[in-house]
Amino acid sequence: MNETLRTNMAALVPRLRRFAHALCGNPDDGDDLVQTACVKALDRLDQFTPGTRLDSWMFRIVHTSFIDETRRRRRWRTTNDPAALDRISDGGRDLDRVERSLHLARVRAAMTALPENQRAVLALVAIDGRSYKEAAEVLSVPVGTVMSRLARARARLLPLNSEDAA
């Protein structure tokens, strides 16, 4: 039973990392967060109700760990990590790709500039494709709150890609 759960958890890790990266704003803090969340999840396996969605449960643990950690540290430090560039840069081979990657960097920066709670709903709905109801369950807020946070986040993000289209 536990072995199956561990296998299923491992399959969720890419999505959890993507969510955590979007929440924290950088991959290293994101991976720390996923590791912390996995340790917590294994500690509390008895609290998982079989038959319910493992992904929602894990996302909730990632999110609450993020809130705990943010409160504890007050904020995530900006990492000063030269290796992070390798993950962003194309190596300069292809101009289109470089421009594309700069644009994506701008999208990441704009995401980072959003308040945390708006980042969380965008990460769940726009990036992970969860329904509003599922996002509301993960974040323990009403569906209406998910919708208003989304609308507010998009009011800031949409001007960014309308320019892109122009």
Partner 1 sequence: MTRDWTEREIAAFVDGALDDPADAERIARAIETDAEARALSDRIAASNSLLREAFGTPMEQEVPPSIAAVLTNDARRVGRLPRRRPVPGFAPTALAASVALLIGLGLGATLAPQVLNPAKTVIGLGVGGPDDALAQALETLPSGASSPTGVRPMLTFRDATGRPCREFEVVGALPSDLEFGLACRIGDGTWEVPILVAAPANPLDPGGFEPASGAVGDALSAMLDALGAGPALTPDAEAALLASRWNGSPSKKTHPARREGE
Lay out the site mask for partner 1 across 30-69 (x = CB under 8 A, - = otherwise). Answer: xxx-xx--xx--xx--------------------------
Q: How many residues line the site for partner 1 (CB under 8 A)? A: 86
Of the residues 9, 54, 58, 138, which one makes contact with partner 1 according to CB under 8 A: 9
Residues 131 and 52: their CA atoms lie apart, in Å, by: 16
Coil, strand, or helix at residue 82? coil
Residues between 80 and 109 with contacts to partner 1, criterion CB under 8 A: 80-85, 87-89, 98, 102-109
Residues 26 and 133: their CA atoms lie apart, in Å, by: 27
Our measurement of the distance from residue 90's CA atom to the centroid of its chain's CA atoms, rounded to an integer in Å, reads 23
CB of 157 to partner 1, least distance (A): 6
Of the residues 60, 64, 67, 112, which one makes contact with partner 1 according to CB under 8 A: 112
Residues 21 and 27: their CA atoms lie apart, in Å, by: 5
